[in-house]
Amino acid sequence: MSSMLPGAPWLLAHRSMIKTNQPCKISLQGNDFVLWVDAAGEIQALPNACPHMGAMLSAGWCKQGKVVCPFHALQFDGAGCTVLPGSGQQTLPLLQPLKLIIQNDFIWSYGQHEPVMPIPSILNEIASDYKFIGMTGEYNVQTDLLSMLLNMHDYNHQNGTHRPLFEIEEVLFDRFVDEGYHSDAYYRMPRAQTSLSDLFRNPALLAMPKTLTAHLENFFPALVIFHGTTFFGKFKQCHIFVPESEAHTRTYVLVFGQTNSFIGKIALRALRSNMLQLVDQVVQQDADILHKIYPGTPQKIKLNNEVGMDWVHRNFEHFPQIVIPK
Ligand code: FES
Ligand SMILES: [Fe+2]
């Protein structure tokens, strides 16, 4: 269980990912849940197995704010109660709701564990200053949480894993600021000239400077924010991680943008879907390499700038105790 860090907060979804009256399945730490938005706009969450004969409630539908089981159509309210057909009797709760913590459009949960660390406030700050552009790059990767996080904090894989997209020639690492569960990484990545065929495939590459400047802000364990600047303004790529089980990790990216100029607004609107598509490609490349790693291979070589991965290893090892380096 410890590999899924019990007691850490997980961002299960952004509200835009949950359609009204459409049950959806969310997996967290080995358990499946059904989430839906009820009549009052409240988000409800129950274990996904129907207490009658185990059908997946997420495969059902919504009716008058309740979730309806697809097998025999029993209806469950957010408290896990149903009304028995025939007698018309309301039952006691038969399912224990999953506790959600809703902040703005962010749907957080500690799963079935007691909190051992607070929810970071950074997403609320971003949401108040930036416009939500969209969600992209959602993948269920067949890998454990630790491997997923190591990939995200590996500053040397840009010119391998992501080379086919950005033509990155090298990674110039500037600085890593380690403050326990929070850290900042700063580096630059000079790129070869974007080829015409790449541009044709994705015009958003036009907005990429010759040298990509990266500032990653890391919140252990579940959140990495890429602070970016393009010619039309600033953007934030928020990478989210959710341990679905020991062997599966879900990731997705929430993109926020800010522009003050008229041209910037037009460019942002025009390139919105290209931008989301570009981020999607990046995450897809990460998911792809994670499927091509032999797990547990002893590491006999250490490269420069593996400091982000050292940060992940240390925090994992000592969780939930925060170790602040001297
Ligand atoms: S299995 Fe859900 S109502 Fe029968
Ligand atoms: Fe990556």
pLDDT in tens, 285-301: 999 999 999 888 999 99
pLDDT for 189 beyond 50:
yes
228 strand-pairing partners:
235
Structural domain range at position 152 = 122-318
Residue nearest to ligand 1 atom 3, measured at CA = 72
DSSP string over 197-212: HHHHH-GGGGGS-SEE
Any idea which ligand is nearest the CA of 59?
A: 1
Structural domain contains residue 57: yes
Do 164 and 288 reside in the same domain of the chain?
A: yes
Structural domain contains residue 324: no
Do 101 and 132 reside in the same domain of the chain?
A: no
More confident residue, 8 or 262: 8
Asked which of 58, 75, 109 is the last residue of a domain, the reply is 109
* Angle CA 200–204–208, to nearest 5: 115
68-125 pLDDT per residue, tens: 999 999 999 999 999 999 899 999 999 999 999 999 999 999 999 999 999 999 999 9
Asked which of 109, 141, 157 is the last residue of a domain, the reply is 109
Structural domain contains residue 20: yes
Query: Which strands, in side-by-side order, build the sheet including 10-14?
Result: 10-14, 106-109, 101-103
The total of structural domains in the chain comes to 2
Do 132 and 94 reside in the same domain of the chain?
A: no
Structural domain contains residue 117: no
Any idea which ligand is nearest the CA of 48?
A: 1
Q: Quote the CA–CA distance of 243 and 250 in Å, as a whole number.
A: 6
pLDDT confidence tier of residue 11, bands split at 50, 70 and 90? very high
Q: What is the pTM of this model?
A: 0.94
Measured in degrees and rounded to the nearest 5, phi and psi for residue 242 equal: -130, 120
Structural domain contains residue 89: yes
More confident residue, 114 or 213: 114
Residue 229: its pLDDT value, please?
Answer: 85
pLDDT confidence tier of residue 314, bands split at 50, 70 and 90? very high
pLDDT for 265 beyond 70:
yes
> Residue 102 belongs to a domain with what CATH number?
2.102.10.10
More confident residue, 157 or 201: 157
pLDDT for 1 beyond 70:
no
pLDDT for 152 beyond 50:
yes
Residue 267's H or E segment, with its range, is helix 262-290
Do 138 and 269 reside in the same domain of the chain?
A: yes
Structural domain contains residue 229: yes
Q: 192 C-alpha to center of ligand 2: Å?
A: 18
What is the number of the ligand 1 atom nearest to the C-alpha of 60? Answer: 2
Pocket, ligand 1, Cβ cutoff 6 A: 50, 52-53, 55, 69, 71-72, 74
Q: 50 C-alpha to center of ligand 1: Å?
A: 6
Residue nearest to ligand 1 atom 1, measured at CA = 53
- Other C-beta atoms closer than 10 Å to the C-beta of 49 total 17
Q: 157 C-alpha to center of ligand 2: Å?
A: 7
Do 132 and 275 reside in the same domain of the chain?
A: yes
- Other C-beta atoms closer than 10 Å to the C-beta of 189 total 20
Do 288 and 139 reside in the same domain of the chain?
A: yes
What is the number of the ligand 1 atom nearest to the C-alpha of 69? Answer: 2
Structural domain contains residue 115: no
> Residue 277 belongs to a domain with what CATH number?
3.30.530.20
Do 138 and 257 reside in the same domain of the chain?
A: yes
Ligand 1 mutation pick, 74, 84, 94, max ligand atoms within 8 A of CB: 74
Do 223 and 284 reside in the same domain of the chain?
A: yes
213 strand-pairing partners:
188
Is-contact 168 212, C-beta < 8 A? yes
Do 101 and 146 reside in the same domain of the chain?
A: no
Asked which of 84, 109, 134 is the last residue of a domain, the reply is 109
Do 98 and 131 reside in the same domain of the chain?
A: no
Any idea which ligand is nearest the CA of 152?
A: 2
pLDDT confidence tier of residue 268, bands split at 50, 70 and 90? confident
Do 98 and 200 reside in the same domain of the chain?
A: no
Q: 54 C-alpha to center of ligand 2: Å?
A: 38
236-252 pLDDT per residue, tens: 999 999 999 999 999 99
Do 252 and 129 reside in the same domain of the chain?
A: yes
If you average pLDDT over every residue of the chain, what do you get? 92
Is-contact 206 199, C-beta < 8 A? yes
Structural domain contains residue 133: yes
What is the number of the ligand 1 atom nearest to the C-alpha of 57? Answer: 2
- Sequence-distant contacts of 275-279: CB under 8 A, at least 24 apart: 275/133, 275/204, 275/207, 275/235, 276/133, 276/134, 276/136, 277/136, 277/202, 277/204, 278/165, 278/202, 278/204, 278/205, 279/136, 279/137, 279/237, 279/253, 279/255
